[in-house]
Amino acid sequence: MFQGFTGKQATADATESIAWGTNIVGGVKPGWTGQHLGRPVLPTVREPHATAIYVSAQHAASAIEEAIEAGVPLIVAVAEHVPLHDMLRIHSILKTQSKSRLVGANSPGIISAVGRCRIGFQPLPCFSPGRIGIVTKSGTLSYETVASTTRAGLGQSLCIGVGGDILPGTDLREALSILEDDPDTDAIALVGEIGGTGEMDAAAWIKDYRSRARLPKYAQLIAPLIDRPIVGLVAGVNEARGRIMGHAGAFTAVGEPDARTKIAALQDAGVTMVNHPAKFGGVLKAILEDGTSHTRRDTGKSWVGGLLRGTQRRQFHSFTIGRFRQRRYNRPHISSIQQQRRRIHLPEDKCMDLLRAAGQVNCGTYSGHGTRRLLAVGIDRSMRSPCIIAAPATHEDELLTPNVKRFPFDFRRGPDRLSIERIASHLQLSNKGSAVDSLRRVIKSLVTIFFDKEAYLMTTHVVDRLGAIKIVAAQFSFDDAAFRTAGRQRDLHSLAVVAPEDEPGAAAEDSGIVYIRLAGTGVIGTLVNGAGLAMNTVDALADAGGKAANFLDTGGKATSETVKESFRVILQDQRVRVVFVNIFGGLTLGDMIARGVIMAFQELSLDIPVVVRIRGTNEKEGQKLIAESGLPLLAFDDFEEAAAKAIELCRA
């Protein structure tokens, strides 16, 4: 079923999914009964086997909660910018049950190419039935991964887009465990990025998976296991520290591993790593053709293994959905609804004002006496809950602060007395009795602000002076989606201050563009569609010997106008010597991008080289438009060739 069935985007995606072969039985529109696309429309959710949440971000949490209450086994939420605290509430509900599994929010969806079942908005022209299971945080990176495996003749079995949200309903580890039981999957492509610990959890799962695969044959008689090869990629090696790289969850918080740490952990677990999604097909094909230890299990079953299973409490059940494995259809192009947002960061004096208003908090400047300790309120992404973050010392670079520990607490009840005593012990406070009481008051005030103002990370430095806790530094970040999509926190939004270096990005935001000027000596301006692909473009250019001047994500659905506006923003940076346009036409049309590039070149009177790499939907049409434009534009379909040319030109 589709919740929000009669909406424009849901109608477009449902029409294409039905034509492709997905068994959509109907939809939901509150307070309305009738027909749409020849299928029934109901006022409330009944009990389908799966539901797609297509309502707006401000109503998404209510729709998810309705589906949980109806006992729908699989809930897929595609909406981006669902307020963080709405999702915290949803996860607190999910932990009380064992029937429903949530995928998303901010997910491109899931798709069984073998079963002709799509729940989401993935670009169907990329897909072909086959052997590769794909697990990914990023939409655009997954589309290029899919296209790469299609070109290699491997095709796809089941693709799970866990999404780039701060708190995904299904994480990378859980998605891998689903593919472990899928009889159609012979190998796995794993696509991660910065933010959270999901890739570390996945690496630990893979190590355990490999160890079980090496058990003696008699030990596997009860549960035979295929040792499937896994190839991985992690985007964001060259992230801008302290910035959100397009996706809501694409930032590295204090105590979280960076991209290099995640890559090392996956390599240690036996994952073959690549640095660009176009390489997945060739690498996977070479591994499978080697065939030394990988065999295919044919159980004769037809099911999307494990997706229709309960979630957080791990009391899973499976469900056969062979009826989804139906006939072939033409695969049309689809459109997207994604748009980008930033977060609200307050200057320190405003943070201190909030603390004073909360009461019972001693805060002010650091006198130079006492050890500075880290105390923060944030999100434990693995536990999908709020948490206290603490360390007995601080570092100039917060991400390098040693001995960081997280203390998750219940969304509804807050931190309990025992947790605060453990936090005090970890902080190594001197006078335990009075210090713990003082710490309890400080934490209570911080947590109150966290919930009342819908923060996602509140970092402070505290000192312990004679058994009293004093806050001597504060940096608070709040969820912009609460204001932009739900109209909440208007007063807080007015306090935000845009730094001069961030002004181009703030202006571009109105066009749905995320722009971040990267520090250093980068001279290659990058223009990319999709946050994951934009991060990976910066990384892959660095691997090739180049250096990007910026991160720019036009959004999953770039248009000619957004391309022109992107050029305008990029060219404000006087360092830029060449513009590198890297577009994968999944949801985006290659010919539309080409027209945007040509329009920008003509209207902005560009006097620097432009290298355009277009792959995917309408790639030939786009490349032809560039070639026949009569303008000094260079068109490629291969990423490495295009990157090499951009680096050559910026050095000339």
609, β-bridge pairs = none
Rounded to an integer, what distance in angstroms lies between the CA atom of residue 308 and that of residue 74? 5
- Give 105's contacts (C-beta < 8 A, 6+ positions apart): 53, 57, 60, 64, 77, 78, 79, 80, 82, 87, 163, 165, 168, 169
| E strands present in 163-241 | 187-193, 230-235
Task: With CA atoms as reference, report the closest residue to 158 among 140, 183, 126.
Answer: 183
Q: Strand 550-553 relative to strand 514-517: parallel, antiparallel, unpaired?
A: antiparallel
Q: Strand 455-465 relative to strand 468-478: parallel, antiparallel, unpaired?
A: antiparallel
Other beta carbons within 10 angstroms of residue 270's beta carbon come to 14
Does 461 qualify as catalytic in the annotation? no
Rounded to an integer, what distance in angstroms lies between the CA atom of residue 135 and that of residue 107? 11
Structural contact between residues 599 and 560, judged by C-beta atoms closer than 8 angstroms = yes
Rounded to an integer, what distance in angstroms lies between the CA atom of residue 277 and that of residue 134? 12
In angstroms, what CA-CA distances link 39 with 34, 71, 331? 8, 21, 21
285's tokens: 């094909």
How many residues would you count in the chain?
652
- Give 83's contacts (C-beta < 8 A, 6+ positions apart): 57, 58, 61, 454, 479, 481, 482, 485, 486, 488
Q: Strand 156-161 relative to strand 109-112: parallel, antiparallel, unpaired?
A: antiparallel
> Coil, helix or strand for 396?
coil
62: left (phi over 0), alpha (psi -120 to 50) or beta: alpha
Burial (0-12, 13-18, 19+ Cβ within 10 Å), 22: buried
Rounded to an integer, what distance in angstroms lies between the CA atom of residue 116 and that of residue 126? 13
Rounded to an integer, what distance in angstroms lies between the CA atom of residue 384 and that of residue 365? 34
**Catalytic one among 247, 276, 345, 461?**
247
In angstroms, what CA-CA distances link 310 with 66, 67, 81, 366, 603? 16, 13, 25, 49, 54
Other beta carbons within 10 angstroms of residue 290's beta carbon come to 10
Task: With CA atoms as reference, report the closest residue to 10 among 174, 118, 97, 120.
Answer: 120
Name the residue type at position 116. Answer: R
Structural contact between residues 288 and 294, judged by C-beta atoms closer than 8 angstroms = yes
Give the residue numbers marked as catalytic.
247
